[in-house]
Chains A and B, each alone.
Chain A
């Protein structure tokens, strides 16, 4: 196993009185793709959002336990959430480009970090679009509205946007669930490329997708982490009955 990038220890999360995550402990390896699978409402998205503290935005969330990134607990008081989120990119289920041009979407992150040099911004934008494998499609449309792109292009634009702030980790919350098969294929190829440089954590509803693209898989059920291991092993020889029932389609 490679080096551990993200580790959680007894992470428990409540929405008000309702427990959404129950003592989740997991070690996510660096520069690999880790997939979270499980039925709707099992806590996999909630868990993903604890890793960049997006749950902070929701009132009445209580968290106990630890989330360590590079060995540092990100829920400690001295942690600057804004800086933390620069290190951890996020791609959402529904593509959410800003109502700005393609260029301004990608340049958004660098600009809020104080980069205003036009030449430098152009470099960053081009690199990010190349890395997200969308450069050829949009290079002549950089000044067009991002909302004019197709759904699949918008999602890859959002990936490019998160790459432009040079994160180390990319969290993806069902990034292809709203896309057609061809766009989904492109996103999957892209994820495969990106893991050379980034640690990727992806929530997916689609078990075939998890099996295709991930190196490690975590199966969640009712707020608990049931099983975690190498994807090939988890899908061929799961250790726990619940996992087997889920991946063979007996429930979920």
Chain B
């Protein structure tokens, strides 16, 4: 009997060890291939210059800027809405409230929708409906907003990340001990005062890391912006919300499928992938640093 249990335990340890090694190997494999492929191409000039000669030469500067603008605008839309919704769900809604249950259902459903559907929705709703409406009302039918641009792509991306933000922020808020809320309420604080002075400060690190992780997920998505604003090539940086923009993820797709000579652009593809990975890695690292710093501060 004892032997049998030991065999079972050993098997489990072996299996989990194998899984760890497998995952590490896959990750190291991917990174090695990308770094080996792109290391010769990557340089300061590559990061700061425009693509040239039909994408066969030059750099990826506009794609970096476009991605950064997209991420910033998306966060400006998704984070406030997400945080407010999460606060409502965690602090105000009763357990059996119909509104809260409806929101939760909607959030769960949104989180499972494939990202290409968000892209189609953005095209149909933001461009064909909202944008066209704005053109009709403000520009007497002249075409300005009823076409793909930075604003609509950011809004579409915001919709995609919204459920992730809501879920992670709500989780962060729920880690604040109930005793602290009670202490505040027992001192005669209102619910809002309690949220503002105890709950939010107490979960700030979780809120920040949650939103950063959500945002970094959005930064790597391509499907939602395919129809809503990403451009194949632009000679200028976007100057306003109604301009199209270039994007790192989309650029990789373009390079690997649409360029005149795919094999010749391979080093550029690897280097671009490196930059995109680095960008999400930096975002994730920021989240980790914030989390550990706050943890130390609490003690």
A-side interface residues toward B, CB under 8 Å? 52, 54, 57, 59, 82-83, 85-86, 88-90, 92, 94, 96-100, 108-109, 112-113, 147, 158, 161-162, 165
Contacts and interface: CB of A to CB of B under 8 A. Distances in A.
B216 interface: no
A162 B186 CA distance: 8
B188 A90 contact: no
Contact of A161 (B187, B190, B298): B187
B195 interface: no
A54 B188 contact: no
Contacts of B283: none
B40 interface: no
Interface residues of B, number: 23
Nearest to A94: B179
Q: Which secondary structure dominates chain B's binding surface?
A: helix
A86 B198 CA distance: 17
A59 B96 contact: yes
Contacts of B182: 54, 57, 90, 92, 96
A137 to B, nearest CB: 20
B38 interface: no
B180 A83 contact: no
Interface in B284-298: 298
A108 B186 CA distance: 11
A1 to B, nearest CB: 28
Contacts of A90: 182, 186
Interface in B182-210: 182-190, 193, 197-198, 201-202
B187 A99 contact: no
B197 A108 contact: yes
A112 B187 contact: yes
A108 B95 contact: no
A112 B197 contact: yes
A89 B180 CA distance: 14
A108 B184 contact: yes
A59 B188 contact: no
A112 B193 contact: yes
A157 to B, nearest CB: 11
Pick the most buried of B184, B187, B202: most chain A CB atoms within 10 A of its CB: B187
B177 interface: yes
B179 A86 contact: no
Given A57-B185, A86-B187, A109-B189, 17 more contacts: A82-B188, A82-B190, A85-B186, A86-B188, A92-B182, A94-B179, A96-B177, A98-B202, A100-B201, A112-B188, A112-B189, A112-B193, A112-B197, A113-B188, A147-B298, A158-B183, A162-B186
